[in-house]
């Protein structure tokens, strides 16, 4: 019976999101000429709506531990388990841009809308060029007052797993002198990677204190970020 309820709620959520996403993608393109901050508020209202729908239809609630630090913008380095956090972070850390694989902005509807938010897009197959692009674009976004969201594992990982932490975000922080805010969460337990089913429960999002780069030591910084996130993942436990 419980699984039937999950199926029905997941289906209702999917159909509702399917109906509202194409019009929002069109709206995102129509507001492209507007100033970046105003465009951001309009386009990210879709993310706020999807998070609210997940809460009301699928019963995916959330709680926040820690505080969003003042005095930003910062580089946020976070665990990546599902699509939920990519949406919720737009609400939690506004205004912000994400560091993305360049091809993601070509995805129908979602990617097209994402492109209007001026994300930092990089081609990881060309490492030197990707780092140079990350620094150039990152500096511009920080100067404009945008937080930068980096998923250091590079892709979504299953709950309980730890991927390789790439140093790009830490390298950007060291080069710009901007502190890193580490974030841990267990969203993947309720909104699984590539999964249709959405399970009821409460996601815990834990925000750490800013970690300031020391003497431009990228490896030390990424090591400290990784240690904090993985330790916090163990502490916050299950979302169900």
**The pLDDT value given to residue 48:** 95
Residue 98 pLDDT > 80: yes
| Average pLDDT for the chain | 89
The pair phi, psi for residue 216, each rounded to 5°, is 55, 35
The residue that leads in pLDDT, 129 or 190, is 190
Q: Which domain holds residue 7?
A: 2-236
The pair phi, psi for residue 180, each rounded to 5°, is -105, 135
**The pLDDT value given to residue 125:** 66
Q: What is the per-residue DSSP string for 98-166?
A: EEEEGGGGGSTTHHHHHHTT--EEE-TTSHHHHHHHHHHHHHHHHHTT-EEEE-TTSS---TT------
Whether the ω angle into residue 99 lies within 30 degrees of 0, i.e. cis, is: no
Q: Count up the domains in the chain and report the number.
A: 1
Lay out the sheet containing 120-122: strands in order across: 60-65, 201-207, 180-185, 75-78, 147-150, 96-101, 120-122
- With H, G, I as helix, E, B as strand and everything else as coil, classify residue 209: coil
* pLDDT band at residue 1 under the 50/70/90 scheme: low
- With H, G, I as helix, E, B as strand and everything else as coil, classify residue 57: coil
CATH number of the CATH domain containing 50: 3.40.1130
**The pLDDT value given to residue 224:** 95
Segment 194-213, tens digit of pLDDT: 889 999 999 999 999 999 98
Tokens (6 digits) for 88: 């919720």
DSSP letter at 94?
-
Segment 5-37, tens digit of pLDDT: 999 999 999 999 999 988 888 888 888 888 888
């Amino acid at each position: 019976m419980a699984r039937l309820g999950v199926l029905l709620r997941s289906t209702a959520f999917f159909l509702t999101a399917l109906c509202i996403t194409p019009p929002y993608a069109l709206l995102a393109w129509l507001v492209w000429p507007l100033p970046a901050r105003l465009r951001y508020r309009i386009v990210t209202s879709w993310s706020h709506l999807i998070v609210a729908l997940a809460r009301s239809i699928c019963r995916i609630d959330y709680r926040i531990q820690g505080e969003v630090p003042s005095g930003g913008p910062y580089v946020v380095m976070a665990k990546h388990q599902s699509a939920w956090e990519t949406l919720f972070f737009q609400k939690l850390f506004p205004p912000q841009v994400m560091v993305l694989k360049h091809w993601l902005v070509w995805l129908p509807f979602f990617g097209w809308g994402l492109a209007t938010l001026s994300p930092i897009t990089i081609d990881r197959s060309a490492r030197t060029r990707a780092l140079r692009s990350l620094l150039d674009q990152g500096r511009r976004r920080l100067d404009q007052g945008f937080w930068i969201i980096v998923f250091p594992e590079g892709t979504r990982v299953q709950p309980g797993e730890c991927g390789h932490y790439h140093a790009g975000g830490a390298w950007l922080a060291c080069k710009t002198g901007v502190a890193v805010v580490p974030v841990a969460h267990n969203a993947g337990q309720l909104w699984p990677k590539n999964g249709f089913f959405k399970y009821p429960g409460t996601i815990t999002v834990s925000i750490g204190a800013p970690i300031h780069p020391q003497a431009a030591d990228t490896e030390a910084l990424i090591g400290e970020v990784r240690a904090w996130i993985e330790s916090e993942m163990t502490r916050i436990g299950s979302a169900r």
